[in-house]
Amino acid sequence: MLPDKTTYEELCAQFNWDIPEHFNIGVDVCDKWANEEPDRLALKFVNTDGQSQDITYGQLKEQSNQLANLLTHRGLERGERVGILLPQTLETAISHIAVYKMGAIAVPLFTLFGPEALEYRLKNSGTRIIITNMDGVQKLTGIRDRLADLCHVFTIDGDHSDTQDLGAEMENHSDIFQPVNTRAEDPAVLIYTSGTTGQPKGALHAHRVLLGHLPGVEMSHDFFPKPGDRIWTPADWAWIGGLLDVLLPALHHGIPVIARRFEKFTGEAAFQLMQDFGVRNAFLPPTALKMMRSVPDAAERWKLDVRTIASGGETLGAELLAWGREVFGVTINEFYGQTECNLIVSSCSAVMDARPGIMGRPVPGHDVAIVTGNGAPVPDGELGNIAVRSPNPVMFLEYWDKPDATESKFAGEWLLTGDTGVRDEKGWLRFVGRDDDIITSSGYRIGPGEIEDCLLRHKAIRMAGVVGVPDEERTEIVKAFILLEDGFEPSTELAEDIQVWVKTRLAAHEYPRIVEFVDELPMTATGKIIRKDLRACSLGAL
């Protein structure tokens, strides 16, 4: 979408959105290429032993058509939800493509979610069908009888109790399917985002969301695509960063995607993968970059041929940018966005110099401003809310089944991100902080409300407050302040039990790495925990 220009001002002046009335993500990222170049490389899957499997666009089309016919045969209708509880696998990509071509709605689910986190999302979305593996089945076992809308569970590694073997079932269906002629405004994907109070909210996106992402992807990768480009990210495809910053935009452009789900991410393994499979472009969250930076003599040990590195989720400092130039030979481009409205700000080394601590300038096509809580612009240099003008192709349709939350996200025509920032006279934007208490840990955005709800179900806990505290490697880690019920005493054993309680019910990345027992919690007059006081207390203890 971006014109190849030499200055940022030229990019903005000559950019125009081209959003057709009808658009289907599945057709765009798969059938478009399969019909013209069926043997074109789409995906390269790397196994844990280092062996790889190539998948062409023709194969993607055939298998996604078989799956679409299978789901149709099982009664899935347009607009109904399909949960995809898988890591970076071929079946993950096929499932997304098939669901989009059917006009149904994909619900990406993170494999590290525990039963309680899954139960809420599946119930709230009314998911009809789940595609998963044995690990997912084990998590669903104890909650399936409470999922009234769930009709079928398909597994990619053989059939298990009350499940069906996806591969075997697909073989019984035709590889010819007529995609639904969806409108660009029709819903396509429901991604749950972290919230600060209560449970997470489902951000419902239309098919146009892919088109809305393209300028940001192209800008953060210095006019992606270029000949020879080949992209990889360790970010899970269940998150908007992996799905819509990498997988789907790359397939849209016909660029091969390297897929590898590390059992345990290490800097050494990342460097080896990039060397062995000729990774030219990568989205690396700051935590991944920090882990790779800790590897000694990387520039001498691996021969890399990198064209672009993009990163987002946390602000990059001068030291990390300098290290990136030394090891990768490129300037890391930083970008900014959130699940509801992603990739709206970016740097781009091809047309502008990086500024440490500054996340970039508005991506062409996105009107980003600093405003008051009522949506009034504030003068340059003053602190305010980072906001995006609507309508906008990358912007979500609504929060699923939460009209009040949807309405409160906007101040007039401005979507309020909930983050605060400052804009200078040339349009550069600096991220300052979060108004909504979101915790950023290892690139994940974690809402304290869901963790607090989980903690309160522990028999020993009367009240709990959760905040993020600074951590050198992860940016922040989760800390829980615990007020115990009568009859329970603080102990190391109880703290460990509480950590396991959250880890096994929500997600491994959400459990409190620090548990502090307290005699009271700071509260407002209406009974809400004052998290800023908890953060201040934590900072004072560091």
Q: What is the pTM of this model?
A: 0.88
CA–CA separation, 215 vs 431, rounded Å?
21
Q: Which of 113-122, 154-163, 517-526 is least confident? A: 517-526
Omega of the bond prior to 225 within 30 degrees of 0, cis? yes
Comparing CA positions, the residue from 195, 310, 339, 331 lying closest to residue 250 is 310
pLDDT of res. 265: 86
Which pLDDT band, with edges at 50, 70 and 90, does 371 fall under?
Answer: very high
Comparing CA positions, the residue from 117, 122, 126, 132 lying closest to residue 163 is 132
Query: What residues pair up with 231 in beta bridges, in sequence order?
Result: 257, 281
Omega of the bond prior to 403 within 30 degrees of 0, cis? no
| pLDDT tens for each residue of 310-342 | 998 777 778 889 999 999 999 999 999 999 999
| pLDDT of 527 over the 60 cut | no
| pLDDT tens for each residue of 40-78 | 999 999 988 889 999 999 999 999 999 999 999 999 999
Q: Which of 255-264, 398-407, 530-539 is least confident? A: 530-539
Residues contacting residue 504 through CB under 8 Å, at least 6 positions apart:
114, 115
CA–CA separation, 190 vs 202, rounded Å?
6
- For residue 38, with 0-12 CB atoms within 10 Å meaning exposed, 13-18 middle and 19 or more buried, which class applies? middle
Which pLDDT band, with edges at 50, 70 and 90, does 187 fall under?
Answer: very high
Q: Are 538 and 476 in contact (CB under 8 A)?
A: no
Domains by residue range for the chain, with CATH: 23-185 (3.40.50.12780), 439-541 (3.30.300.30)
Residue type, 143: I
Instruction: Tell me how far the alpha carbon of residue 127 is from its chain's centroid.
Output: 20
pLDDT of res. 10: 95
Residues contacting residue 415 through CB under 8 Å, at least 6 positions apart:
340, 341, 387, 388, 389, 390, 392, 395, 409
Comparing CA positions, the residue from 241, 399, 255, 473 lying closest to residue 335 is 241
